[in-house]
């Protein structure tokens, strides 16, 4: 299995949860993976684990809301692996998110939240697209959520933005043969969801077509498809991987 041999992939928010599963799953198919996260200790562990399993990975710290930090990540990736082919914009404030309403959330918190959860994907894209163009193209997968289709306050609002960003960037980057798509996971069994959803999680599952939580690995097939040449004419799409939680006509 070496679908991503010689491909350099940056996965943000890869220190834990779904991003960790993406980093490990891509490395297992031959990708050179940059594990990028705010959390240096956990991120470094993920990269070490990949290497001890025989894969290629390095940890590079990043704050996706900072253009300077994103540029340093892109530079470090090129220095380590020689270029950039793919980016998975998975990082978000989720596990540590405050509960509040749009009508009452503190403005500074709201702005910081959107800076990370929405603008972070654009900041990262701006930092890497030139390197992708040098390689003749690339693929970007943004992490959305079915929260974009359900009431979920500023969290869902940011994911609606991620969906729109995916569609708009697909046009701005398509001429460079850079594809931009998104995956919208349903409720997934990560530590962050256990903190956020608590007991309400069981009710969520009852209303889904497939009566179980997603596991981080459930998203991997869709992400690998979108990053691979199998999806060479797929761009601007948002694919729900959600156990049938939502449907859209
Ligand atoms: P998580 O909270 O466990 O992981 C998020 C990661 O992003 C953490 O490692 C954190 O350190 C990192 N991060 C946060 N802010 C950052 C920043 N400014 N710069 C760099 N890294 C930063 O969340 P989980 O459950 O793994 O979710 C990952 C992604 O999937 C998020 O985008 C989340 O919104 C999305 N998602 C999660 C679902 C779930 O049920 N777990 C369902 C649908 C979408």
Delimit the domains of the chain by residue range. 8-241
What pLDDT sits at residue 1?
61
CA of 15 to the centre of ligand 1 (A): 9
Ligand 1 atom closest to 14 (CA)? 9
Tell me, which fold does domain 8-241 have in CATH?
A: Rossmann fold (3.40.50)
pLDDT band at 249 (very low <50, low <70, confident <90, very high): confident
Q: Report if pTM > 0.85.
A: yes
pLDDT per residue as tens digits for the range 139-193:
999 999 999 999 999 999 999 999 999 999 999 999 999 999 999 999 999 888 8
What pLDDT sits at residue 193?
87
155 is catalytic: yes
CA of 249 to the centre of ligand 1 (A): 28
3-state secondary structure labels for all residues of the chain: CCCCCCCEEEEECCCCHHHHHHHHHHHHCCCEEEEEECCHHHHHHHHHHHHHCCCEEEEEECCCCCHHHHHHHHHHHHHHHCCCCEEEECCCCCCCCCCCCCCCCCHHHHHHHHHHHCHHHHHHHHHHHHHHHHCCCEEEEEECCHHHHCCCHHHHHHHHHHHHHHHHHHHHHHCCCEEEEEEEECCECCHHHHHHHCCHHHHHHHCCCCCCCECHHHHHHHHHHHHCHHHCCCCCCEEEECCCCCCCC
Ligand 1 atom closest to 39 (CA)? 11
């Amino acid at each position: 299995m070496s679908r991503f041999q010689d491909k350099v992939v940056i996965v943000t928010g890869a220190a834990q949860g779904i991003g960790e599963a993406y980093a490990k799953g891509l490395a297992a198919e031959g990708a050179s993976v940059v594990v990028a996260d705010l959390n240096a200790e956990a991120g470094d562990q993920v990269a070490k684990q990949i290497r001890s399993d025989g894969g290629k990975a390095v940890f590079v710290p990043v704050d996706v809301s900072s253009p300077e930090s994103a540029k340093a990540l892109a530079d470090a990736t090129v220095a380590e692996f020689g270029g950039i082919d793919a980016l998975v914009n998975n990082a978000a404030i989720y596990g540590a998110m405050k509960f509040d309403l749009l009508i009452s959330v503190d403005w500074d918190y709201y702005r910081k939240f959107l800076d990370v959860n929405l603008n972070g994907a654009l900041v990262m894209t701006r930092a890497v697209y030139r390197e992708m163009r040098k390689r003749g193209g690339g693929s970007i997968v943004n992490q959305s959520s079915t929260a974009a289709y359900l009431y979920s306050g500023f969290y869902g609002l940011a994911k609606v933005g991620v969906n729109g960003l995916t569609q708009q960037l697909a046009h701005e980057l398509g001429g460079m043969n850079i594809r931009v798509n998104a995956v919208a996971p349903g409720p997934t069994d990560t530590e962050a969801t256990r903190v956020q959803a608590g007991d309400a999680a069981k009710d969520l599952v009852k209303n889904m077509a497939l009566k179980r939580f997603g596991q981080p690995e459930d998203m991997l097939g869709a992400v690998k498809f979108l990053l691979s040449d199998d999806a060479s004419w797929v761009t601007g799409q948002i694919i729900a991987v959600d156990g049938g939680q939502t449907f859209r006509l």
